Amino acid sequence: MNTKNLFLSFMIIFSFSSVMFGQKSYKTLVYEGNQKFDGKDYDGASSKYVEAVKSNEKEFTAHYNLGNALYKSKKYEEAKAEFEKAQSLSQTIPDKAAALHNLGNAYMQMDQPEKAADFYKQSLKQDPYNEATRKNFEIAKLKEKENQQKNKDQKSGKGGGGEDQQKDKDQKGDSKEKGEGQKNEGNSPEGNQPDQNKNNEGKMPKDLENAILNKVGEKEKETARRILNKNSYSMPESNEKDW
């Protein structure tokens, strides 16, 4: 083998090794982020996912998981940005539906139910039988109608009541959170997948439930009660992947 061919062979082996190392590094960082997320260290998880994004910014998983960690840290604007990137990078219907759903959750937390409803609707187009998304869509539409009624009352001079002063903090938890169990990237050094978050169901805060019921018309109250009387938020199981 002449010197030129030897040099080319060395470069090919070196390039291949670099690619493999980069992939391993990315998967390891995502795995470490998942471990921190499961331990409720959301800031630590975010740091790992940011490193993973820098390692491979074209991968859905790191952006999606980073969005979840930021969401749990109540950094909704930043979470929204990551979910937007994730949905644009998604290559499967379940991934796209999950990212759109979580965009809806972020907008609900920012008290923008109209936008939230739009993203839940887009998610339902991808996954029309997802009951968590469908329920969130209904809640967002109820909240949107409540806000419209509140604005109407204020313009007509009827605002100012205690219920009309409902604060944003009262709406925490009014959406089912989808995909908070993180996407898995690779195996741990021992070959074990990180545990998935278990379902953790709870009730909507009573004051928010009453506020919504008070703001809808009489004919719609029975429908509203039917929606609100169900468990209103939970942590569904994540979509697992083999990597």
Most confident of 16-25, 96-105, 155-164: 96-105
Q: What pLDDT, in 10s, does the model give residues 148-176?
A: 998 888 888 755 444 444 444 444 445 55
DSSP for the chain reads: --HHHHHHHHHHHHHHHHHHHHHHHHHHHHHHHHHHHHTT-HHHHHHHHHHHHHH-TT-HHHHHHHHHHHHHTT-HHHHHHHHHHHHHH--SHHHHHHHHHHHHHHHHHTT-HHHHHHHHHHHHHHSTT-HHHHHHHHHHHHHHHHHHHHHHHHHTT----TGGG--GGGGTT-SPPPS-SPPP-S--TTSPPPPPPPP--BPPPHHHHHHHHHHS-HHHHHHHHHHHTS--B--PPPPP---
- Supply the pTM of this predicted model: 0.64
Return the CATH class of domain 14-228.
mainly alpha
pLDDT in tens, 23-45: 569 999 999 999 999 999 999 99
pLDDT of residue 155: 83
Question: So where are the chain's domains?
Answer: 14-228
